[in-house]
Chains A and B, each alone.
Chain A
């Protein structure tokens, strides 16, 4: 897995130089990632003799690559269930065939044959959905148990900490991952907290326990950048040098984007100069141009400007979201998703026109003034717009276990005001839409042939308070089975705490 990742990386480095967003000094590059450099040089035939060995400096896009490998799974035919594909379709009496970790067929029960050696599971009365995806989690960064020792989610030292990466805080032993698994969560985005204007990079994970965070990282998922509007940054920094106002917040964002644009150009100029130099046949052309110095903060911001890193903006108020979209136009970047978009319904048309997703809670409200204008129909009203992209998120180690119920509430409120929402529509709020917003829709988020077999079997309609995930497959491996304790992970922390027994575990 690791090797494949690096080869892919090398190809990407050569083909997409203009979109490079990260930089590092030559020495650091050699020390940190010799393998990339070597591979890159081998495949670049144009590079002259002298530079074949190193080539232009490209900071690694993914220096801590995923080492996740799917666990073995059987070839399984789940048949007779109600399928919600995530792509808008409902198939009654449907079947899903899982083979080699992938979804290999989806359709009506009668149309799909079990291959030889496959196990057929009668899923009559069950409902099957794609694995649930939470676009906004702090699992691992604010783990259980929660205390000063484990509180690693908010780098509250400066309004701009774009240089931190959430993955470096993720404690893979967080028991919350196991509980989320029992709620059908197969992938999640772990974001830094919202104290800062620029909080840092997110980590997109598969919800499979591992000894290291690298072992959980979703292969080849793009990074996200966490930003925050409104009350939090100004509250935190108001008496610590600012920003102390919303106008201060915007000045902070804009100054950073100006700096990031200059940084991005510096690197692009360097690569252009290098190419010119490399193609120069003159023997006296001198030394290769020097690469700019790396800056971790600006690398991330430049990546957001170039589109390699998706922008996730915590923003409650409608007027602030509109301002942010103007700012994105000013600097030429894209806001992929507004998170905690409590007032999205006030500008649902504008969000849809700008192709921005809104990630929302079903009914949280009132904990601060910018969260005062919650309506139960928020999700439905965003959904109802042509091109609207509604996501139900948790931001919470308990809520992540019941995103299906949160979506059910939102659906119920929407239907009561006449928004036509069927379960096959609402499931997209938890699957297709977050996958799209996180840049992983080509791999997961729907029940479609060829995708990762991230599949949840529910004991009934998932949009019910009584529904429970019975089986959760991740890449075709049965990672959770409600009826089988041996398929229920327990983190190290949960061993032997009370009377040398197990405590907790998924499904508890």
Chain B
């Protein structure tokens, strides 16, 4: 602004960075990439020191040690680097929101007020609002996130709607699986939408399922005969795959009591349930494991923030994992990249490293029925791959290259562009607004 600026010294990492970038841009056209001599965390099959990953036509074709790079492949020397599957954020509103507090830049949920202002819930479909050009996508992609569940947030009703798995390429066709899950808020969030009591929330939830069953048993008949107008036909229709157990239902609950109620619900209606939240999950870890319910938890939450979080602890993830629960970590939208910080902190609290890495790669893929396609480095799987400059769970580590569907990704983003514009504050021949246009 005014006066002289001390300029940043040249990047220490510059040489390595340019080398990686050059390799990546060559690979863009080649379609065949050989990532050689890295520490390869396959997630499904252990760690390979000096391991190689071969990618062709969007798929991983080989993973192992001492492989040969196929003829014509772009070869990336990953020695000293760590190679992992791309990170998979298991619940987020990425793709639906640009700026939280700006109405026209936030489609994550219908307005809550006034109560009853907007009648629909379960029938909302995230892909209707999906913005693959969102600035959140390149920012989080550059941090190694390659897939995410894009989930609506709850509005006036307990059902948030149908979530989709997307990739973070930013391409128009980046929806991996539409209608991958339904989302419902119970616990305190459910209670406050249903008369202020959990009794209300569970009663209404059961009503929804009973009505949905009735509707799906014979839709034409249901529509013709008198029925309860509180339930929109479109919502009942959308709950079809939930009540027949095909579509996972993400249930947001935290307390041990609410988790037990969720287990009962699953057993009564034979649902495919995933729990999100579960701040007291460790107290009922064995029951959750027995019910075969995956848990997506906040790895950094350890406060009795509400009466449903009394027993929250940083050891939650480690204890759930030890009991045999499949776990993952949740983060909002703008910083879904922080799931690896959750994972790293969980390791510091006793979660085995491999389980922590699986929690942000393979486990989410499995939760949404994509475990055979994504989440690990295995021949035949979709090539979502990240090359890191260090321990992938460490907060000081950053990706050097990211592949989605076998394609090298642009790691530039709005934040980097802003930084480049202002890293040198010396007054130039033109204002700052002209910088970066070349």
What is the interface of chain A, defined by CB distance below 8 A to chain B? 144-147, 175-176, 179, 231, 322, 345-350, 353, 363-369, 372-377, 381, 384-386, 397-398, 401-402, 405, 408-409, 411-413, 415-420, 463-468, 493-494, 497-498, 503-504, 508
Contacts and interface: CB of A to CB of B under 8 A. Distances in A.
Contacts of A377: 419, 423
11 contacts: A144-B303, A350-B1, A350-B2, A366-B136, A368-B100, A416-B398, A465-B393, A466-B344, A498-B311, A504-B302, A504-B311
Contacts of A402: 300, 345
A349 B8 CA distance: 13
A365 B335 CA distance: 8
A384 B310 contact: no
Contacts of B394: 464-466
Given A350-B1, A366-B100, A367-B100, A386 B6 contact: yes
B6 A384 contact: yes
A349 B303 contact: no
Interface of B: 1-6, 8-14, 97-102, 136, 283, 300-307, 309-315, 333-335, 338, 341, 344-345, 347-348, 393-398, 415-416, 418-419, 422-423, 425, 432
A412 B396 contact: yes
B419 A409 contact: no
A345 B419 contact: yes
Name the prevailing secondary structure of the B interface residues.
loop
A145 B305 contact: yes
A352 B19 CA distance: 36
B315 A465 contact: no
A232 B99 CA distance: 15
A375 B395 contact: no
Contact of B396 (A231, A373, A411): A411
B12 to A, nearest CB: 6
Contacts of B9: 418-420
A420 B311 CA distance: 42
A346 B1 CA distance: 8
| Residue from B6, B12, B314, B393 with most neighbouring chain A CB atoms (10 Å) | B6
Contact of B8 (A353, A366, A384): A384
B8 A369 contact: no
A363 B307 contact: no
A459 to B, nearest CB: 9
A367 B335 contact: no
Given A405-B395, A411-B396, A376 B8 contact: no
A416 B11 contact: yes
Given A465-B394, A503-B304, A508-B314, A417 B423 contact: yes
B353 to A, nearest CB: 10
A366 B418 contact: no
Nearest to A147: B306
B313 A504 contact: yes
Given A368-B102, A412-B398, A417-B11, A349 B334 contact: no
Nearest to A460: B348
Contact of B306 (A145, A345, A368, A494): A145
Given A413-B398, A504-B311, 17 more contacts: A145-B306, A346-B422, A364-B335, A368-B101, A372-B99, A376-B419, A377-B419, A385-B5, A386-B6, A402-B300, A405-B345, A416-B398, A418-B11, A466-B347, A467-B348, A468-B348, A503-B310
> 10 closest Cβ contacts across the A-B interface?
A465-B344, A366-B334, A412-B396, A368-B101, A350-B1, A375-B419, A367-B100, A144-B303, A418-B11, A508-B313
B305 A353 contact: no
B313 A365 contact: no
A398 B9 CA distance: 34
| Residue from A366, A372, A384 with most neighbouring chain B CB atoms (10 Å) | A366
B396 A417 contact: no
A145 B101 CA distance: 25
Contact of A349 (B4, B306, B311): B4
A145 B305 CA distance: 4
A408 B306 CA distance: 30
A409 B101 contact: no
A485 B154 CA distance: 40
Contact of A418 (B12, B136, B302, B416): B12
A419 B5 CA distance: 13
A144 B308 CA distance: 12
Contacts of B97: 366
Contacts of A397: 303, 305
A179 B334 contact: no
Contacts of A347: 1, 425
A360 to B, nearest CB: 14
A322 B1 CA distance: 10
Contacts of B312: 504, 508
Contacts of A144: 303-305
Contacts of B344: 465-466
Contacts of A350: 1-3
A504 B425 contact: no
A398 B300 CA distance: 7
Contacts of A412: 395-398
A369 B101 contact: yes
Contacts of A386: 6
B111 to A, nearest CB: 16
Contacts of B423: 345, 377, 381, 417
B385 to A, nearest CB: 21
Contact of B102 (A369, A374, A408): A369
Contact of B12 (A147, A384, A398, A415): A415
Contacts of B338: 363
B145 to A, nearest CB: 13
A398 B299 CA distance: 11
A381 B314 CA distance: 33
A504 B10 CA distance: 47
Contacts of A408: 395-396
A385 B333 CA distance: 32
B315 to A, nearest CB: 7
B10 A418 contact: yes
Given A416-B11, A418-B10, A465 B398 contact: no
A398 B301 contact: yes
B348 A465 contact: yes
Nearest to A405: B395
Contacts of A373: 418
Contacts of B416: 375
Contacts of B5: 348-349, 385
A419 B8 contact: yes
A111 B309 CA distance: 49
B1 A363 contact: no
B335 A363 contact: yes
Contacts of A466: 344, 347-348, 394
B341 A405 contact: yes
Given A465-B344, A494-B304, A367 B99 contact: yes
Given A377-B423, A418-B10, A367 B396 contact: no
A386 B395 CA distance: 27
A465 B395 contact: yes
| Residue from A179, A365, A467, A493 with most neighbouring chain B CB atoms (10 Å) | A365
A436 B348 CA distance: 32
A373 B8 CA distance: 20
Contact of A179 (B14, B303, B347, B395): B303
A466 B391 CA distance: 11
B432 to A, nearest CB: 8
A95 B419 CA distance: 40
A412 B423 CA distance: 16
A366 B11 CA distance: 28
A174 B26 CA distance: 56
A334 to B, nearest CB: 18
A465 B6 contact: no
Nearest to A372: B99
Contacts of B6: 384-386
B141 to A, nearest CB: 14
A376 B9 CA distance: 17
A375 B305 contact: no
A475 to B, nearest CB: 26
